[in-house]
Structure 1
Amino acid sequence: MNEAATYAIEDGIATLTLNRPERLNAFNNDLVSAALAALERAAADPAVKALIITGEGRGFCAGADLAGIVPSAEGINAAMRDLYNPLILAIDRFPKPTVSAINGVAAGAGVGLALATDIQVAARSASFVLTFGPQLGLVPDLGVTWFLPRAIGRARSRALALLGDKLPADKACEWGLIWQVVDDAECLATARMIAGRLAKGSAETFFEIRRLLDAAETRELDAQLDDERETQIGLITRPAFAAGVANFLGKRTS
Structure 2
Amino acid sequence: MAAPILVEYDSPVLRITFNRPERLNALTTGMLTLAADAVEAAGSDTGVRLVVLRGAGRAFCAGVDLAGDADGTLPGTDTIDAANRLTLGLREIPQPVLAAVGGPAVGVGCSVALAADVTVARASAYFLLAFAQVGLMPDGGATALVPAAIGRARATRMAMLAERVAAPVAEEWGLITHCVPDAAFDDEVERLTQQFAQGPTAAYARAKHAVNASSLAQLRSALDIEREGQTQLFATADFAEGVAAFREKRRPEFSGK
* Correspondence for 2:27: 27
The answer on 1:211 being equivalent to 2:209 is yes
Please state how far the C-alpha of 1:138 moved relative to its aligned partner. Answer: 0.9
List gaps (5 residues or longer) in structure 2: 218-257
Report how many aligned residue pairs link the two structures.
Answer: 213
CA distance 1:169–1:208, change in 2 (3 Å): same
Please state how far the C-alpha of 1:79 moved relative to its aligned partner. Answer: 2.4
CA contact (8 A) 2:144 2:216 kept: no
List gaps (5 residues or longer) in structure 1: 220-254
Write the mapping of 1:153-232 to structure 2, written as runs, cut at 5 A: 153-217=151-215
Aligned Cα root-mean-square deviation (Å): 1.9
CA contact (8 A) 1:97 1:206 kept: yes
Please state how far the C-alpha of 1:93 moved relative to its aligned partner. Answer: 0.9
Write the mapping of 1:70-219 to structure 2, written as runs, cut at 5 A: 70-71=73-74, 76-81=76-81, 83-133=82-132, 135-217=133-215
CA contact (8 A) 1:102 1:187 kept: no
> 1: distance between equivalents of 2:40 and 2:155?
31
CA distance 1:213–1:45, change in 2 (3 Å): closer
Please state how far the C-alpha of 1:218 moved relative to its aligned partner. Answer: 8.0
Q: Which amino acid aligns with 2:116?
A: T
> 2: distance between equivalents of 1:215 and 1:126?
30
CA contact (8 A) 2:106 2:127 kept: yes
Q: Which amino acid aligns with 1:205?
A: A
Q: Which has the larger radius of gyration?
A: 1
CA contact (8 A) 1:52 1:191 kept: no
Greater share of helix: 1
Please state how far the C-alpha of 1:177 moved relative to its aligned partner. Answer: 0.5
CA contact (8 A) 2:96 2:208 kept: no
Please state how far the C-alpha of 1:174 moved relative to its aligned partner. Answer: 0.7
Q: Which amino acid aligns with 1:193?
A: R
Q: Which amino acid aligns with 1:57?
A: G
Once the two structures are aligned, what percentage of the paired residues are identical? 36
> 2: distance between equivalents of 1:202 and 1:26?
35
> 1: distance between equivalents of 2:48 and 2:191?
15
